[in-house]
Copies of this chain bind each other. A is one copy, B any other.
Amino acid sequence: MSKSKLPVLEIFGPTFQGEGMVIGQKTMFVRTAGCDYSCSWCDSAFTWDGSAKEDIRMLTPEEVVDELDQCAPDNYQHVTISGGNPALLASVGPLCAILRDRGIKTALETQGSRWQDWFLNIDDLTISPKPPSSLMKPSLSMLDDIVEKLRNGGRLQHTSLKVVVFNEEDFQFAKSIHHRYPDLAFYLQTGNEDTGESQETGRLVEKLLDRYHQLVERTMEDNEMTAVHVLPQLHTLVWGNQRGV
């Protein structure tokens, strides 16, 4: 695997960002393959479980940008890089550099298991440590290290923490993360248990809004969670679990 190429699974857009610090933002998506985690409820398991192995293409950063241009000629100023865990890939750095030279902003989400120097160049960086229900065990010392480097680089304004919450144990985990890094913008997000594409959308919307409502109530009653945001996955409300929208 050449170091200068990226394993790409999807390039699509323009669409809107459905989550977190830039929710609603018009953006393109580049989805890379590969993850060092295997969360129990991963909604993009196809990026790492082998099921979409044939769809992975090794592309240079320039080829990725060409394809973005073909998807949306002169119609984007923001690109979201997601995965999998794109922080595994050194070659995301050159991709972001090309985009930045063209005045295009970048967003990236990672679980915080790995540092890359190019984190310092991401406009909207979301660190999303995985809660107990994922069955993963995030390394807090790695998180400390990442946040410290971002702080030293003057990047805290461009960074947020996001924790997905499925149950009370997850909520307590979210709280501990928020209190560990109180100067970082903090987002709670409802979990989506129904990640199959078959789910009927009307019923899914009802369940998702209900779960969002519950997370809102839980957060509002908790005076140790005040400087926080609570958000649903907006794209799932609109498009259900469809891919590529």
Residues of A within 8 A of B (CB): 13-16, 22-26, 72-78, 105, 187, 202, 205-206, 209, 212-213, 216, 219-220, 222-223, 225-232, 234, 237-238
Contacts and interface: CB of A to CB of B under 8 A. Distances in A.
Nearest to A227: B77
Contacts of A202: 206
B237 A14 contact: no
A237 B223 contact: no
Contacts of A225: 26
Contacts of A78: 226-227
B220 A26 contact: yes
A197 B13 CA distance: 37
Copies of this chain, whole number:
2
A77 B238 contact: no
A238 B105 CA distance: 31
A187 B77 contact: no
A26 B219 contact: yes
Given A15-B220, A202-B206, A220-B15, A26 B226 contact: yes
Given A205-B209, A223-B75, A238-B212, A231 B23 contact: yes
A-B pairs, 6 with minimum CB distance: A24-B229, A75-B223, A24-B231, A77-B226, A77-B227, A14-B220
Nearest to A189: B24
A24 B76 contact: no
Nearest to A187: B24
A29 B237 CA distance: 26
10 contacts: A13-B220, A16-B229, A24-B229, A25-B229, A26-B220, A72-B223, A73-B223, A205-B206, A213-B238, A232-B234
A234 B189 CA distance: 14
Given A16-B230, A212-B238, A223 B26 contact: no
Contacts of A227: 26, 77-78, 105
